[in-house]
Structure 1
Amino acid sequence: VMKEWVHDSHIVMVANPFWPDNIPSVPKPKIEEIVFRMLDESPAFAEYEAGNLDVAGVPLSEIDRVKADPKLSQELKIAPILCTYYYGFNVTKPPFDDARMRLAFSLAVDRKAIVENVTKGGQEPAQWFSRPGLQAAPTLQTHPNLGVKYDPERAKQLFQEVLKEKYGGDVKNLPPITLMVNQVEGHIKIAEAIQQMWKEVLGVDVKLETQEWKVYLKTLQTDPPQIWRLGWCQDYPHASNFLKDVFYSTSDNNHTKWGNPEFDRLVDQALRETDENKARELYAQAEDILVAKDAAIIPIYWYTRVTVTKPYVKRTFSVLGGLEHIEKWDIQQ
């Protein structure tokens, strides 16, 4: 039960005193009071190290140190969650009004290098949008070659094709290209790595811009830049929540300005399909349109949750992206 909510500061939850004792699946909470502090990742981690927080996320800049530290490494837990990290294009803004150019930029991203050298949190390189593990979503076992992988040669070929056709074969004739991310250290590090890949593979200088989160969300709703970043975590664990709820042509979550009637038809049909294997095939066809044929987005990685927890906290770890069973937690001191 919520006891207090101070905006931009904290939320205090207390155990429900009226909760019955006899429901094994939803037991009576063991912890009397929990305080959620609203802090960005780096300040929260500093508070954890100072002993003022019992649970915190690990900022990207601290992962190597945490893994190497004899004490913190014991408190570290990396686990998959049902979320996808991606870049979107504004498909109305040149040069990304051409699907071949969008695909070239996607194929030039070395996702494996990002998760191994930048994020270092056990994330998986993403070849498509709906994270494996969701009901009816394609998996790397069922669809190993679906979607996009790092392919610098094909990226160069597509890039040169569009450059010759539309820009006189000269990179200097391209409009200035901007990648925008929200002002978070980890997102900036990832963006800088991808900026470097585009420079090395395609020979393009992409400008990086940052905005504070609230301003950034407004920008995405009103006038998205040519390339921008977002993540999506499940509201319910089904492929439809990723594909239909985010990239349907009329979805408010779709900031690409892209729509494809065939994609819409496939995700509608998949949602009505009662055979999960048939539904998975339909979602795979929809993914192929989204990330390869039309390349409206660049899937980058499938998330993990990287957290540290004090040894006296006995807790659960949800794969559902933050939907924790706090009532099952305990403090043992």
Structure 2
Amino acid sequence: MRTKVWMALSVLLALTLVLAACQPTAPTPQVIVETVVVEGTPKVVVATPQVTQPAEQRKVLRLAWGPGDIPTIDTALAVDVISIQLIDEMTVGLTRQNEQTAELELAMATDVKTSDDGRTYTFTIKEGVPWVRYNGKEVEQVLDCEGNPRYVTAYDFEYGILRTLNPATASDYAYVLYGIEGAAAYNQGETEDPSTVGVKALDAKTLQITFVEPAVYNLNIAGLWVAHAQPKWIIDGDDCTEGRGERWTETGFYQGYGPFTLKEWVHDSEIAIVKNPFWPGDAVVPSPKIDEVRWKLVDTSGALAEFETGNLDVSGIPSGDLDRILNDPKYADMLRNTYTLGTEFYAFNTTKAPTDDVRVRLALALAVDREALVKNVTKTGEPARWFTHPGVAGAPKPEKFPNLGLTYDPQRAKALLDEYLKEKGLTADQLDITLMFNTSESHKRKAEAVQAMWKETLGINVKLTNQEWKVYLKQRKAGNENIYRGSWVQDYPDANNFLREVFTDNNGTPGAYQDVVNWPVAENAEGMIVYTPGSNPLYDKFVELVKAAARETDPEKRMQLYADAENILVNEAAVVLPLYWYADKVLVSPRVVDTPSITGYDRYEKWDIKS
């Protein structure tokens, strides 16, 4: 029988503060005393004192994201930047990447010990961090069936990792946890026993994770959002809580424990997170100075208009407005350079003609003048000759590999295409090629510029099509077009995250963009991804290189292995066309005190708004 918990009494006790006569009056702290009845027994719960601020004193940071809805804030299901950004503000991992240095820091883990063989990590979990929810008026602690606050424990982390890996969850990012022992077999349904996965809560404050092999990035993986603690009771239900299933992320249901928690999510319009007064701030993840962060879901041009009228605090700059903004002295102190460890690229569908032929893919890649694209269209970023951002560990550095990767070579591009057309008995204008991108004015301008380059150099009339982000992800996965716009921002700052986890077959599951590239794999009758070694020698060599690089401890040798892998990716197999490495300019209101980030994710708990 489900236990029913009824609130019998809620009493507010005002605490009078005695202040010096010359001091301004401070807001009055409030202690919330609640009496709950559990199976007939009254129990008194006293919440942590909170300060209620007048509405006019609240600090609200006003931001914008692109058009269309946020795909998800489900910890196990997120795959894109805005979803991960929100999750990282509302929950905290065992480890956390510093946004300014990209260095790894302990977060929900206060200590970690590594076994002699380098495979097993034992984490001590921070105690006294409660789960919270926004009840429509304020943030409150979540109570268990006995009326006590639910605190984050090692069991919540164990549940979170296992839920992400559970095949029924259908997490597209589960593969990133395949470095954990037994994770791949469990996620792929080879076993239904979760105890075979190398994650175990030894007690409420001790979590043990065992990896398949020692690697420098294992601690990064342990801190990723898909490995954060998740609230089992609100997802699956328990004796006193109705399980909400996939609806647990909706307004009023969502429960988190980070520096912020969900306030409201108006789908396709806006989303807001509110300060969590119960988060015990520390040097790594401090208590927020800002009371609320609110995103409007509008395009960059709309965001800039809102910024210029004083309705937004931060805005990107559409390429068409960049010169105006840069030349207007009133914006001089508002401009920020943002350097993100990420890459803008186009991915080729190798299963659809004519991009199923490497000569066509390479011709298209060589016909793009990336220097001109950055100079005349994006006006930000650095032309990319290969995929991995040079700022991450292990990545080839331009000064050490001046001849690596793609260069603009229209003559060679024309020769390759002519060879293909002669063999097929076709002319360039007969080729049917479509480039799809997610709806955005900037993506449209880039696509139109590249479309013009292909027309001028190769005589190909490439069609353009677009979809809003959430729909685009589904369309991309369906693989009905030839070329897809792509963006990769590091999950952790290592080349392994760019190459092995994006483009290789990970124990039977494709990498993040392998659903597009699909260069070596196929689906069998049961829908499982299969690959027979030897059926694609280039892919075999690529996998061999990135796996060797993961184990290599000598930095120079490791960099060479990744350089060799990049050459296969962009030249020999030509499955990816890198466009530029990210570096953008944004506008930040003078009232905002921000901490710039190089990781692609901001830490709003460190921001402030001037009074």
TM > 0.5? yes
- Aligned-pair identity in percent equals 46
Q: Given the alignment of the two structures, is residue 283 of structure 1 paired with residue 543 of structure 2, yes or no? A: no
Which of the numbers 237, 247, 251 marks the counterpart of 2:511? 251
Cα deviation, residue 225, structure 1 = 0.6
Instruction: Find the counterpart in structure 2 of residue 261 from structure 1.
Output: 540
Pairing 1:1-333 to 2, within 5 Å after superposition: 1-8=260-267, 9-14=270-275, 16-20=277-281, 23-121=282-380, 123-167=381-425, 170-172=427-429, 174-249=430-505, 250-254=510-514, 255-259=516-520, 260-322=539-601, 324-333=602-611
Cα deviation, residue 276, structure 1 = 2.2
- Residues 166 and 330 of structure 1, relative CA distance in 2, 3 Å threshold: same
- Residues 27 and 152 of structure 1, relative CA distance in 2, 3 Å threshold: same
Distance 2:466 2:278 in 1: 46
User: Which structure is richer in relative contact order (CA contacts within 8 A, separation 6 or more)?
Assistant: 1
Cα deviation, residue 245, structure 1 = 1.1
Cα deviation, residue 252, structure 1 = 4.3
- Indicate the SS of the match to 1:71: helix
Residues 312 and 332 in structure 1, CA contact (< 8 A), matched pair in contact too: yes
Distance 2:448 2:571 in 1: 24
- Residues 93 and 53 of structure 1, relative CA distance in 2, 3 Å threshold: same
Cα deviation, residue 218, structure 1 = 1.1
Instruction: Find the counterpart in structure 1 of residue 172 from structure 2.
Output: none
- Residues 313 and 278 of structure 1, relative CA distance in 2, 3 Å threshold: same
Cα deviation, residue 70, structure 1 = 1.7
Give CA-to-partner distance per residue, 1:165-194, whole Å, 9 cap, x none. Answer: 2235x324x431111222211111111111
- Residues 165 and 60 of structure 1, relative CA distance in 2, 3 Å threshold: same
Cα deviation, residue 138, structure 1 = 0.7
Distance 2:482 2:494 in 1: 29
Q: Which amino acid in 2 is paired with 1:328?
A: K
Residues 91 and 257 in structure 1, CA contact (< 8 A), matched pair in contact too: yes
Residues 132 and 139 in structure 1, CA contact (< 8 A), matched pair in contact too: yes
Q: CA RMSD in A?
A: 1.8
Residues 99 and 294 in structure 1, CA contact (< 8 A), matched pair in contact too: yes
Distance 1:25 1:176 in 2: 52
Distance 1:248 1:240 in 2: 10
Residues 15 and 33 in structure 1, CA contact (< 8 A), matched pair in contact too: no
> Which one is further off, 249-258 or 152-161?
249-258
- Indicate the SS of the match to 2:587: strand
Give CA-to-partner distance per residue, 1:41-70, whole Å, 9 cap, x none. Answer: 222222211111112222223212211222
* Structure 1 unmatched runs, 5+: none
Q: Which amino acid in 1 is paired with 2:451?
A: Q
- Indicate the SS of the match to 1:316: coil
Q: Which amino acid in 2 is paired with 1:92?
A: T
Distance 1:242 1:184 in 2: 24
Moved over 6 A (4+): none
Residues 100 and 158 in structure 1, CA contact (< 8 A), matched pair in contact too: yes
TM-score for the superposition, normalised by structure 2: 0.51
- Residues 18 and 176 of structure 1, relative CA distance in 2, 3 Å threshold: closer
Cα deviation, residue 294, structure 1 = 0.6
- Residues 279 and 332 of structure 1, relative CA distance in 2, 3 Å threshold: same
Cα deviation, residue 232, structure 1 = 0.8
Give CA-to-partner distance per residue, 1:115-166, whole Å, 9 cap, x none. Answer: 0000112x10010111110110111112111110111111111111222222
Cα deviation, residue 15, structure 1 = 5.0
Cα deviation, residue 319, structure 1 = 0.3
Residues 340 and 599 in structure 2, CA contact (< 8 A), matched pair in contact too: yes
Cα deviation, residue 277, structure 1 = 1.8
Q: Which amino acid in 1 is paired with 2:305?
A: A
TM-score for the superposition, normalised by structure 1: 0.92
Residues 88 and 229 in structure 1, CA contact (< 8 A), matched pair in contact too: yes
Cα deviation, residue 26, structure 1 = 4.2
Cα deviation, residue 18, structure 1 = 4.9
Cα deviation, residue 313, structure 1 = 1.4
Distance 1:33 1:153 in 2: 55
Distance 1:327 1:264 in 2: 39
Residues 15 and 31 in structure 1, CA contact (< 8 A), matched pair in contact too: no
> Which one is further off, 98-107 or 157-166?
157-166
Between Structure 1 and Structure 2, how many residues are aligned? 327
Q: Which amino acid in 1 is paired with 2:606?
A: K
Query: Which structure has the larger Rg over C-alpha atoms?
Result: 2
Q: Which amino acid in 1 is paired with 2:597?
A: S
Distance 1:12 1:272 in 2: 40
Cα deviation, residue 219, structure 1 = 1.3
> Which one is further off, 36-45 or 181-190?
36-45
Cα deviation, residue 3, structure 1 = 4.7
Residues 136 and 280 in structure 1, CA contact (< 8 A), matched pair in contact too: yes
Residues 275 and 288 in structure 2, CA contact (< 8 A), matched pair in contact too: no
Give CA-to-partner distance per residue, 1:195-242, whole Å, 9 cap, x none. Answer: 111111112111112222222211111124111211111111111111
Q: Which amino acid in 1 is paired with 2:396?
A: P
